[in-house]
Chains A and B, each alone.
Chain A
Amino acid sequence: MKSRYSHGGDEHIFVEISEDMSLDAFFKSLFLCKALKEARIKGVTEICPANASFQIKFDPDVIAPGDLLREVQSLEASAGAAEPILETRIIEMPVFYNDPWTHETLMRFRERHQDPTGTDLTYAARINGHADVPAFIAAHAGSPWFVSMVGFVAGLPFLYQMVEREKQIQTPKYLRPRTDTPKLTVGHGGCFGAVYSVRGAGGYQMFGVTPMPIYDPKQQVSYLREFMIFFRPGDIVRFKPVDRDGYDQAVRDVDSGRFSPVIRPVSFDLRAFSQNPATYNEGLEGVLYGH
């Protein structure tokens, strides 16, 4: 992986670690961003890690764009190969797949979809080689996902499925973006999953909704009182299918302040994972559920 550097006007530097998405590229981006934060370069105001790239915003009145570019390059050169171990957390997120709200929405925007006669779930199941929708949902909920970027809008996680590349779910985005997506929709576009933190426009395929708020600007949700945004890059997420009753119960629990997400600290080792993802994921499951 050879990084590509570019100026983004006079206030940003853009670094592409790799054109292709991979956990290696994501880790490198995350670790470089961490090193950059620790370097505390004067004039740097924001460091934003993304899936396989990152961006720095700075004040060119404090540091010249060319000087900062050279500093970042030398930092990358000296960073060397860090131990690819990430101290992070694993989180269970309930999902009501095939729910009535995303269904209503996807029917409303059907003429913008590749497959106007089906649903997003039947389409995704078919093009990813699954026999039917339940088999597809089992694959979607069957492995953990990495939060590889937080953004687009406030608190929206991009999720990268932790399985071998040939097993990863891939779908195109809608032919033309929708003007509406229900809040907390669990969606998918390219190789990335996403949870829509707010209601709004969107182009990802829609598979279900979670009852678990991940962005609360009013900071009333019990676990978002400290900070309004739940996810951060490097979090690991496990989807747990729930039915209508389970969904309704969770919504009531959120409203009454009794919902608390299952969260466990975990140390993630990229090399061990890469050697055998399935076995490694079983271990992660053990961390989450304590067995």
Chain B
Amino acid sequence: MAIKVIKPGLATTVQDLGRPGYYDIGIPLSGAMDRYALCVGNWLVGNTEGAAALECVFMGPELQFTTDAIVAVTGAELPPKLDGAPLSTWQAFEVKAGQTLSFDFLKRGARAYVAVAGGIDVPVVLGSRSTYVLGALGGFEGRALKADDELAIGATQAPAKLGRSVPTELRRGTQPIALLRMVPGLYQHRIKPDSLEGFFADSWKVAPEADRIGYRFRGGKPLAFVEREPPFGAGSDPSNIVDSCYPYGSIQVPGGTEPIVLHRDAVSGGGYFMLGTVISADMDLIGQLQPHAKIQFQAVTMDNALAARKERQAMLDALRDI
């Protein structure tokens, strides 16, 4: 084994770029919530972008290496320390067998990615090494890491980029954001127009119930629904629909009070109306929101959404050959 978990952190899981293809039977994509940070971390250590890494939430783990390794920490500003000596995020560093990697307190963001040259070697399940905790599937025994777990490291793929650092302006997701962009639609017509205006005008705060399944927000005004006769099978609450699929990033508002944005471990369907979907380019950024962070939802057009997607991809491409 190559990494021994001394302290697991809050909810550290193995994640890669996810497990597409099984959402129709309730198995979500999973994978890094901040895919941008995962890809960059992997490139820094010489991996392909989708190698499995550790996703650490709010608090870092303490890891003892039993073999030499090359490591990079990207995403949230969670400063790494090697045998207690501080190191920088967003650049690769060497770890010698016997050394311990730990972390200082979180400075910014919410999720840091610990990429290791060769990738974290756990079994591939349905095409991915990602952990889907709700389904006890994939990753390390289908769960978050615990003390005394021992992780294997895969074979290195290419030389690491030691000494290279990611320019500040390309450290996407590390600066606080004020807006979450979304394309209105789905069951938006359930809400009265002036109430929908209020939804976009209000300031929303990330609630403590924010995890890989979804981010809950509170603080805005309750929504006013258009009157109706409940459709057969939907249920009597005005926020109910006949259970449908839920897009990743879709914004549901159970009871019209607290919006929930579904993320990588989304429940694949259910009986609550949704009023739109966060654009793909902003999904990474949700993963870096801390509890109590304030945002506003901003309605954008499909053209805006596609332009933002291109912009994100261009930023990422600029780092491919760092």
Interface residue ranges, A against B (CB under 8 Å): 6-12, 14, 16, 18-22, 45-55, 57, 60-61, 64-66, 149-156, 158, 165, 170, 172-173, 189-192, 197-198, 200, 215, 217, 228-229, 231-233
Contacts and interface: CB of A to CB of B under 8 A. Distances in A.
A190 B309 contact: no
Contact of A54 (B135, B137, B245): B245
A66 to B, nearest CB: 7
A6 B186 contact: yes
Contact of A50 (B135, B269, B280): B269
B232 A200 contact: no
B185 interface: yes
B268 interface: yes
B182 to A, nearest CB: 7
B267 A152 contact: yes
A239 to B, nearest CB: 19
A189 B136 CA distance: 25
Nearest to A8: B247
Contact of A151 (B134, B136, B240, B245): B245
Contacts of A60: 280, 306, 309
B233 A154 contact: no
Interface in B18-48: 20-21, 23-27
B113 interface: no
B278 A9 contact: yes
Contacts of B24: 46-49, 150-151, 233
Contacts of B137: 154, 217, 228
Interface in B264-316: 267-271, 274, 276-280, 302, 305-306, 309, 313
A200 B242 contact: no
B258 to A, nearest CB: 12
A60 B312 CA distance: 14
A46 B246 CA distance: 13
B125 A217 contact: yes
14 contacts: A8-B250, A12-B248, A20-B231, A45-B20, A51-B233, A55-B245, A61-B309, A155-B27, A173-B235, A190-B233, A191-B232, A191-B233, A192-B243, A198-B134
Interface residues of B, number: 50
A250 B268 CA distance: 30
Contacts of B157: none
Contacts of A52: 233, 242, 244
A7 B135 contact: no
A207 B250 CA distance: 31
Interface string B248-270: 11100000000000000001111
Interface-centre pick from A12, A191, A233 (highest chain B CB count, 10 A) = A12
B26 A156 contact: yes
Contacts of B125: 217
A48 B23 contact: yes
A247 B321 CA distance: 60
A11 B185 contact: no
The 9 closest A-B pairs by CB, nearest first: A21-B233, A9-B277, A8-B247, A151-B268, A55-B245, A151-B26, A12-B247, A154-B135, A191-B233
Interface-centre pick from A9, A12, A51, A57 (highest chain B CB count, 10 A) = A9
A65 B302 contact: yes
A57 B242 contact: no
B247 A151 contact: no
B235 A190 contact: yes
Nearest to A150: B25
Contact of B249 (A9, A150, A165): A9
A181 B23 CA distance: 22
Given A11-B249, A51-B243, 15 more contacts: A6-B185, A7-B183, A8-B186, A9-B279, A10-B280, A19-B241, A46-B20, A57-B20, A60-B280, A64-B306, A152-B268, A152-B269, A154-B25, A189-B235, A190-B243
Nearest to B269: A151
B268 A48 contact: yes
Interface-centre pick from A10, A51, A192, A217 (highest chain B CB count, 10 A) = A10
B234 interface: yes
B132 interface: yes
Contacts of A231: 25
A50 B26 contact: no
A80 B249 CA distance: 33
A239 B144 CA distance: 36
A204 B204 CA distance: 29
Contacts of B26: 150-156, 197, 229
Contacts of B182: 9
B236 interface: yes
Contacts of B313: 61
Contacts of A11: 247-249, 280
Contacts of B134: 153-154, 198, 200
Given A46-B24, A151-B26, A152-B26, A14 B142 contact: no
B25 A10 contact: no
Contacts of A50: 243-245, 269
